[in-house]
Amino acid sequence: MSDTTTAANQARAGIKSADFDIVKLLLEGRAFFALIAIIITFSMLSPVYFSVNNFLIMSSHVAIFGLLALGMLLVILTGGIDLSVGSTLALAGVVAGFLMQGVSLEMFGVILYPPVWVVVILTCAVGAFVGLINGVLVAFFKVPAFVATLGLLYVARGVALLMTNGLTYNNLGGRPELGNTGFEWLGFNRLLGVPIGVVVLVAVAVLCSLLLNRSALGRWIYSTGGNERAAELSGVPVKRVKVTVYVLSGICSAIAGLVLSSQLTSAGPTAGTTYELTAIAAVVIGGAALTGGRGTVRGTLLGAFVIGFLSDGLVIIGVSSYWQTVFTGAVIVLAVLLNSIQYRGRRRAAAATSSPQTGKASE
Amino acid sequence: MTLHDMNGVREKESSVVLSARNIAKSFGNIHALKGVNFDVHRGEVTTLFGENGAGKSTLMKILSGVIQPSSGEIVLEGRPVTFHSSSEARDLGISIIHQELSLAPNMNVRDNIFMGREIMGPGGVDYAEEEKQTRALMRELEEDIDPLTLVEDLRLGQQQLVEIARALSVNARILIMDEPTSALSASEVEVLFKVVHDLKSRGVSIVYISHHLEEALQITDHAVVLRDGVMTASAPRSEINLEWIVRNMVGENFDLGSPPEGHRIGEVALSIRDLTVPDTARKGRNVVDGVSLDVRAGEIVCIYGLMGAGRTEMLECVAGRLANASGMVSLLGHDVSSLSIAERIEEGLVLVPEDRQRDGLVQTMTVGKNLSLASIGAFTRNSIISRRRERSLVERAIKNVTIKTSGGEAEIGSLSGGNQQKVVIGKMLATNPKVVLLDEPSRGIDIGAKAEVFRLLAEGARRGLAVIYSTSEVGECLSIAHRIVVMRRGRISAEFSSDVSKEEIMAASGEAVNAI
């Protein structure tokens, strides 16, 4: 913990010297140092913590939060929030489970067993649809993001429960004669020793990073969150941008749902409860501002790893799950605290030049 | 304080209740006030005149404790005082009524008047007592407002009276009124003036700020003029007239350039026909009311008007930000009325908004990303940004509008106000527009930066750009504009060529005639 505070102090000093690159480095460095501190601490406390295999197992846990957090990052960058990601994850898992059981079309008297790639596409479409509803509510009907996505949190969870009557699909393996095997590949299997879930996370992270840094949409996302009015007057299609980020967040949740149900080899309607909060925490620990406009893929990934490695470490050294909750909460509060200290410092630096206008504008 | 000054204070003690001595206030490296002396006379109205940005509001905020001066002192009843907040000033009897009313519209009159100072009885808030006192206050003001009416149901003038009642309820000895009449109807202004007279007779001293010069002359006893943070003149009512005020307000102007000549004035670039924009706050009224205007390529048109004349709304409607009720906007002969903001930018019609902090800049992005924001399409292929082409566009923009910055990677907050404004202008000019609208481009920037902005606009016009800028400073009309259009109450009230006098422009805006 002491490492993180020093990092923040250095970051603040960096702002004063107005050296942007160093500030940026230290800003993200904060989460990085926290991660190093966590790894060192737990490695000393437990002999099994520091091993490649354990890191890979922990990373496959992180993959779920990481996927949700990347979608959440896109939404938070525009100044919104998506509380429905945990429920969407569960709904996506249940939809995938449902499709794997076969869809009976009574009209034709046949049962269709879609291959796994079709299941993946349809599941992602369900996630996108949930995101679309969120986005349209927020962008076009001006429903506050918190309320709109809170509503979808309940609706998506409810639909998932309705679809299974509260039960869990356990048979996701498919059958070779039906040509729908391979679902376990998504999360359960490994590619060159790396869990597929982690590979998926890395791929999505690279795509998100390209989107944010190299595409026009990325620039639009940052400007919408930074100053929506200015973005609109500069010709940014603000509404379309908002709908897009919620759709992307829905897709990320669906992917996380697929990976999770593959990891667990079962799809339950209660999966992912309160995961939305973990995802928000990861984004915030990663240095993003909840007010929008600030945040990076790298930081968010670090945030997800901090949370994942911390909670798994606490499990490994045998701390009770009640204490885990307390620790996780403390880390989140600390991260937000450092964020606000940092942005306050930056605002103060900016205030020297920006306040005269506000002072005069009121004349 | 020297002995001589002490004597001076004692001499005036009878008539001067509050005085500011050598007050200076800086925001960063911008000096809003540069050593101002200002006296408030007991039981009289002292009016503060000055153009936008002269420092009037800053001075009033200092006198009412909202902000603290960088140097200088405030003397109340002969004793130096310092306030750290507006509530400390209020406790000493100084109340301010801001331009934007500070009432809670969802609460009733009684609760607004006692907000934060609720009278407590044994069983919680003593509503009966509060109501009784509110009725007494309303009787004093001779205004029949029920204490239980919701503030949002009152007319604006009545809301103002509620503010005054609130100030009186804390026993204000000095009442500062910042542009109290700007939103009032003629009859409401009359009521207000009667209240002001009553307050005077009860010994309340009033500081009054208004842009309606002649209106202010009706009730003032003393006039003080501020210009660029310095007090330029002060005199009792008997010694002054309108001409004296205007002369001291405007002063000898810094040369802001002259209309560019020698280039070809082309075809009509922007044509506005019968543009009408409804008022969202008041049903059945229009903020822009049947405005028609043609601007040619290479021409610079200045739109002058008072606050609330409809300049901003007209420009925002032309740019596509506000929906118009009726009328048409066409660009180079074809109708753009139904296009979105983005499509209008694509067509070559851009707006530089009035409030650059709120509408112009994305504070979380770098100078370069702000500059390139409106022209992303120009360096994006297959939705992938070419960083090299973006960099060259940013470098070109920084050079073209002469932004003083360490480079495109610098943070927006590191720039001065004038350079921030140039970023907003540069961003819009980078889209290669045919028509550029600028809403108060000179607001809140210093005189040197103003001159540079105007030089930029004149250069643009030489290259065939049609330029429309609005201003509320009459001196700026008589600079680079070929034509000056005056707006008043949503309509165009006059149109002048560049050889018009300041007085004529002000008269057409309603500033120097008996308001309303």
- Identify which of B340, B362, B415 has the shortest CB distance to residue A293: B362
Neighbours of B73 (CB within 10 A): 14
Is A363 close to B53, i.e. CB distance below 8 A? Answer: yes
Q: Find chain A residues with C-beta within 8 A of B414's C-beta.
A: 18, 349-350, 353
Contact between chains at A18 and B414 (C-beta distance less than 8 A): yes
Cα–Cα distance between B182 and B307 in angstroms, integer? 8
One-letter amino acid of B473: E
What is the arithmetic mean of pLDDT over A68-79? 96
Q: Which of chain A's residues have a Cβ under 8 Å away from the Cβ of B420?
A: 353-354, 357
Helix (H, G, I), strand (E, B) or coil at B465: coil
Q: Is A254:A124 a contact under the CB 8 Å cutoff?
A: yes
- Best probe of the A interface among B66, B176, B365, B440, by most A CBs < 10 A, is B365
- The partner residue sitting opposite B360, judged by closest CB among A230, A355, A356, is A230
Whether residue B150 contacts residue B130, with contact meaning beta carbons closer than 8 Å, is answered with no
Cβ distance A233 to B359 less than 8 Å, yes or no, reads: yes
pLDDT for A342: 66
* DSSP structural state of residue A169: B
From B387's Cα to the closest Cα of chain A, the distance in A is: 8
| CB pair distance less than 8 Å for A362 and B359 | no
Give yes or no for residue A218 having a pLDDT over 60.
Answer: yes
Name, in order, each residue with C-beta under 8 angstroms of B284's C-beta and a sequence gap of 6 or more.
none
Which one is predicted more confidently, A156 or B333? A156
* Closest Cβ–Cβ partner in B28, B345, B372 for A356: B28
Q: Is B125 strand, coil or helix?
A: strand
> A130: which residues sit within 8 A by CB, 6+ positions away?
A84, A88, A91, A152, A156, A250, A253
User: Residue A188's Cα: distance from chain center in Å?
Assistant: 20
Cβ-Cβ contacts under 8 Å, A358 against chain B = 357
- Pair A92, A126: CB distance under 8 Å: yes
Instruction: Give the Cβ contact number of residue B337 at 10 Å.
Output: 19
Strands B205-209 and B45-49, sheet pairing: parallel
Task: Name the residue among A214, A217, A353 with its Cβ closest to that of B417.
Answer: A353
* Ranges of H-type helices in A227-291: 228-233, 238-264, 275-285
Q: Which of B355, B366, B420 sits opposite A361 (nearest CB)?
A: B355
Q: For residue B408, what are its two tokens?
A: 């495109």
Task: State which residue of chain A sits closest to B382, comparing Cα positions.
Answer: A215
Measured between beta carbons, the chain A residues lying within 8 angstroms of B32 are 356, 359-360
CB burial of residue B170 (10 Å; 0-12, 13-18, 19+): middle
pLDDT at B183: 67
Mean pLDDT, chain A, as a whole number?
83
As a whole number of angstroms, the distance between CA A90 and CA A174 comes to: 20
Closest CA of chain B from A196, distance in Å:
28
What is d(CA A50, CA A43) in angstroms, rounded to the nearest whole number?
5
Give the pLDDT confidence score for residue A13 in this predicted structure.
42
Closest A-chain CA to B179: A363
Contacts of A23 in chain B (CB under 8 A): none
How far is residue B173's CA from residue B183's CA, in Å, rounded to a whole number?
25
Other Cβ atoms within 10 Å of B128 Cβ, number: 10
Closest residue of A to B51, CA-based?
Answer: A363
**How high is the pLDDT of residue A111?**
78
Are the beta carbons of A184 and A262 closer than 8 angstroms?
Answer: yes
What are the chain A neighbours of B359 within 8 Å (beta carbons)?
227, 229-230, 233
Cα end-to-end span (Å), chain B: 47
Q: Which residues of B fall within a CB distance of 8 Å from A353?
A: 28, 413-417, 420
- b/e sequence B450-470, b meaning 16+ C-beta within 10 Å: bbbbbebbbebbeebbbbbbb
**For B196, phi and psi rounded to 5 degrees?**
-60, -45
A223 vs B56, B351, B365: nearest CB: B365
CA distances in angstroms from B169 to B85, B130, B199, listed in the order given: 19, 11, 13
Contact B163, B101 (CB under 8 A): yes
Give me the amino acid identity at A5.
T
Please spell the DSSP secondary structure of B101-150, one letter per residue: ----TTSBHHHHHTTTSPPEETTEE-HHHHHHHHHHHHHHTT----TTSB
Considering only the beta carbons, identify the residue of A222, A293, A353 that sits closest to B28. Answer: A353
Size of interface A-B (CB pairs under 8 A): 153
Per-residue pLDDT, A59: 92
How far is Cα A89 from Cα B32, in angstroms, rounded to an integer? Answer: 56
pLDDT at A231: 93
pLDDT at B105: 84
Residue B409 distance to chain A (closest CA, Å): 8
CA distances to B47, B59, B157 from B54, rounded to whole Å, are: 14, 10, 27
The confidence score (pLDDT) of residue B29 equals 64
CA of B360 vs chain A CAs: smallest distance (Å): 5
User: So what's the pLDDT on residue A289?
Assistant: 86
A351 has a pLDDT exceeding 90: no
User: Which candidate, B161, B135, B163, places its Cα nearest to that of B148?
Assistant: B135
- What span, in angstroms and rounded, lies between the C-alpha atoms of A226 and A182? 43
Strand partners, B492: B487
What is the spatial distance between Cα A254 and Cα B444, in angstroms, rounded to a whole number? 50
Residue B251: per-residue pLDDT: 67
Collapsed DSSP state (helix, strand, coil) of residue A279? helix
Question: Which residue shows structure tokens 């829905």?
Answer: A250
Span A9-27, average pLDDT:
49
When CB atoms are compared, the residue of B27, B56, B373 closest to A356 is B27
Task: DSSP for A170-216, please give it.
Answer: ---S--GGGT---GGGGTTSEETTEEHHHHHHHHHHHHHHHHHHHBH
**Among B470, B396, B456, B446, which residue's Cα sits nearest to residue B425?**
B456
A210: how many CB neighbours lie within 10 A of its CB? Answer: 13
Residue ranges per structural domain of chain A = 39-338
- B125: tokens are 């808030």
pTM of the model: 0.77
> Taking a C-beta distance cutoff of 8 angstroms, is the pair B199, B206 a contact?
yes
Query: Contact at 8 Å (CB) between A225 and A218?
Result: no
For the segment(s) A39-338, the CATH number from 1.10.3680, 1.10.3720, 3.40.50, 1.10.3470 is: 1.10.3470
Dist CA B467 CA B350 (whole Å): 10
Pairing of strands B435-439, B466-471: parallel
Six-digit token string for A185 = 């590949």
Pair of tokens at residue B433: 């527009």
Residue A246: its pLDDT value, please? 97
8 Å CB contact of B384 and A215? yes
| Residue B54 to residue A226, Cβ atoms within 8 A | no
Q: Which range has the worst mean pLDDT, A170-184, A212-226, B280-294?
A: A170-184
**For residue B369, which residues of chain A lie inside 8 Å, CB to CB?**
219, 222-223
Tell me the Cα Rg of chain B.
25
Q: Report residue B485 CA to chain centroid gap.
A: 19
Backbone angles phi, psi at A191, to 5 degrees: -115, 115
Q: What is the mean pLDDT of chain B?
A: 84
> Which residue numbers in chain B have pLDDT < 70?
1-14, 28-30, 52-53, 99-100, 182-183, 251-255, 281-283, 444, 446-447, 511-516
Contact assignment for A233 to B351 by CB distance below 8 Å: yes
Smallest Cβ–Cβ distance between A294 and the set B340, B364, B443 belongs to: B364
pLDDT of A360 reads 35
Two tokens at A147?
């309320």
**Helix extents (H) in B328-481:** 341-347, 367-372, 387-400, 417-429, 447-462, 474-477
- Tens-digit pLDDT profile for residues B427-451: 999 999 999 999 988 876 766 778 8
Answer yes or no: are the C-beta atoms of B198 and B43 closer than 8 Å. no
**Tell me: the pLDDT tens digits for A85-116?**
999 999 999 999 988 887 777 777 777 788 88
Q: Is A246 helix (H, G, I), strand (E, B) or coil?
A: helix
Chain B positions in Cβ-Cβ contact with residue A292 (cut-off 8 Å): 364
Q: To which H or E segment does residue A43 belong?
A: helix A20-45
Contact B178, B99 (CB under 8 A): yes
Q: What is the pLDDT of residue B52?
A: 66
Mutant choice from B33, B97, B176, B376 vs A, greatest count of A C-beta within 10 A: B376
- In this structure, the strands spanning B466-471 and B300-305 are parallel
pLDDT in tens, A133-143: 999 999 999 99
Task: Round to whole Å and give the CA distance between B513 and B509.
Answer: 9
In chain B, residues with a C-beta closer than 8 Å to the C-beta of A234 are 345, 373-374, 427-428
Q: How confident is the model at residue A124 (pLDDT cuts 50, 70, 90)?
A: very high
Q: pLDDT at position A23, please? A: 58
For residues A124, A130, A136, A138, the Cα torsion angle rounded to the nearest 10 degrees is -120
Inspect the interface and report whether the beta carbons of A355 and B412 lie closer than 8 Å.
no
Interface residues of A toward B, Cβ cutoff 8 Å, are 18, 20, 214-220, 222-223, 225-227, 229-237, 289, 292-294, 346, 349-363
Measured CA to CA, the distance from residue B324 to residue A345 in angstroms comes to 43
Taking residue A172's Cβ as centre, other Cβ atoms within 10 Å add up to 25
C-alpha A187/C-alpha A67 separation (Å) is 13
Per cent of chain B over pLDDT 70 is 92
Q: What is the DSSP string of B179-240?
A: STTTT--HHHHHHHHHHHHHHHHTT-EEEEE-S-HHHHHHH-SEEEEEETTEEEEEEEGGG-
Identify all chain A residues contacting B54, using CB atoms and an 8 Å cutoff.
Answer: 363
d(CA B174, CA B97): 11
Higher pLDDT, B190 or A203: A203
Cβ–Cβ < 8 Å for A8, A341: yes
DSSP tally for chain A: helices H, then strands E: 13, 4
Q: What's the rounded Cα separation, in Å, for the pair B58 and B67?
A: 8
